[in-house]
Amino acid sequence: MSARSALPVRSRLLALAAVCLTTAATLTMTMATPSLAAAPIVGTQAPGFYRMMLGGFEITVLSDGTHPFPVHTVLTQVVGNKGAVPLDQVAPGEADALLAESRLAVPVQGSINAFLINTGSRLILIDSGAGSLYGDCCGHLIDNLKSAGYSPDQVDEIYLTHLHADHVGGIAPNGKMAFPNAVVRVSEVDADYWLNDKNEQAAPKLLNSMFEGDKASLRPYIEAGKFKPFAYGQELSPGITPIASPGHTPGHSFFMVESEGQKMLMWGDVVHVAAVQFPNPSVTLAYDSDAQMAEKEREMIFSDAARNGYWIGAAHISFPGLGHVSASQGHFFWIPANYEGPAAKP
């Protein structure tokens, strides 16, 4: 038995009380002392770029920004011959319930990501963000490109997955060419659809701003002879092949990027709200040109990506939008890339 525990119980309690009083006094003094580390709330993020190697290619993901995604007005679901119906009518509460499973609630910030590929001899940008078409939330791509160590005049080519404002707007914010040496390429199908005034008149009003944004963004490149729509069936550059994936837009494209046996699919607008569309890939979007086709494309590419294990570069999954798809017991999951710090300096 120790000397301490041999003390009478009353003495031990008195000693404990003395320690408590001293601690309380110290705390009171600490709280009364002004903190020397007080600082204003900063409210900014680190520059929005993230790099990884894909074989011999260096991929730099560039954030264009995030915006409150209009979950309750834009998510839809195809119902028989009624076509796409707002999800909130088909399945009231489903969007909120699925968001809650991911600890999210409306408004959810949606990422806009673009991908710069350094092939070793060329710089190729896939999608370009919204430029000035989405307001102050977005249009940060050029700043992030510069933070990542490049200048816009170094970009050789820009491949667009499709001609929606948040993919094409960054090539010409306020109508001015941002990439003076770049050739801009998109599928012939999307170019033919979105640059045709008759299609604009026939399209839902929701899409009118897209048509106008396309014309304003592409005009300087068309005038400079630097707009070259592509046909499918061949590489656009060694290791980069476009794949037709119609539905979200008539000429929506994936780009399969391959180097030294490693593959990454830049899949554009397959997913807008990951927390909802991985558990339920049948959820479509009011902006889909053909929602039924878009749903089929999503289910097909989820299965293919899970089966074959290639990387995904996603335009609207939380920045940097790099990861893999997995499948288990008929459900799909997104596995985000494991963060890697900078490579050791040579």
How crowded is the C-beta side of 273, counted as CA atoms within 13 Å? Answer: 34
Q: Does residue 64 bind Zn ion (CB under 5 A)?
A: no
- Closer Cβ to Zn ion, 269 or 290, answer by number: 269
Q: Which two tokens stand for residue 291?
A: 């929602």
Q: Which stretch binds Zn ion (CB under 5 A): 54-62, 137-145, 163-171, 172-180?
A: 163-171
Residues near Zn ion (CB under 5 A), total: 3
How crowded is the C-beta side of 55, counted as CA atoms within 13 Å? Answer: 15
Residue of 276, 317, 304 whose CA lies nearest to 77:
276
Q: Which stretch binds Zn ion (CB under 5 A): 36-44, 101-109, 157-165, 225-233?
A: 157-165
Q: Does residue 298 bind Zn ion (CB under 5 A)?
A: no
- Closer Cβ to Zn ion, 76 or 259, answer by number: 76
Q: What is the largest CA-CA distance in the chain?
A: 97
Residues 192/217, Cβ–Cβ less than 8 Å: no
- Least separation in angstroms between residue 130's CB and Zn ion is 9
Q: Does residue 166 bind Zn ion (CB under 5 A)?
A: yes
- Least separation in angstroms between residue 314's CB and Zn ion is 10
Residues 230/242, Cβ–Cβ less than 8 Å: yes
- Least separation in angstroms between residue 127's CB and Zn ion is 8
Contacts of 275 (CB under 8 A, 6+ apart): 98, 99, 101, 102, 104, 108
- Residue 136 backbone dihedrals phi, psi, to 5 degrees: -70, -20
- Least separation in angstroms between residue 129's CB and Zn ion is 10
- Closer Cβ to Zn ion, 144 or 259, answer by number: 144
Q: Does residue 190 bind Zn ion (CB under 5 A)?
A: no
- Closer Cβ to Zn ion, 162 or 226, answer by number: 162
**The only residue of 67, 140, 164, 226 in contact with Zn ion, by rule CB under 5 A:** 164
Q: Does residue 226 bind Zn ion (CB under 5 A)?
A: no
Contacts of 270 (CB under 8 A, 6+ apart): 245, 248, 297, 298, 301, 302, 314
- Closer Cβ to Zn ion, 258 or 322, answer by number: 322
For residues 344 and 346, give the distance between their C-alpha atoms in angstroms, rounded to a whole number.
Answer: 6
- Closer Cβ to Zn ion, 78 or 163, answer by number: 163
- Closer Cβ to Zn ion, 166 or 258, answer by number: 166
Q: Which of residues 250-279 bind Zn ion (CB under 5 A)?
A: 269
Q: Which two tokens stand for residue 298?
A: 């999503």
Residues that bind Zn ion in the complex, under the rule CB under 5 A: 164, 166, 269
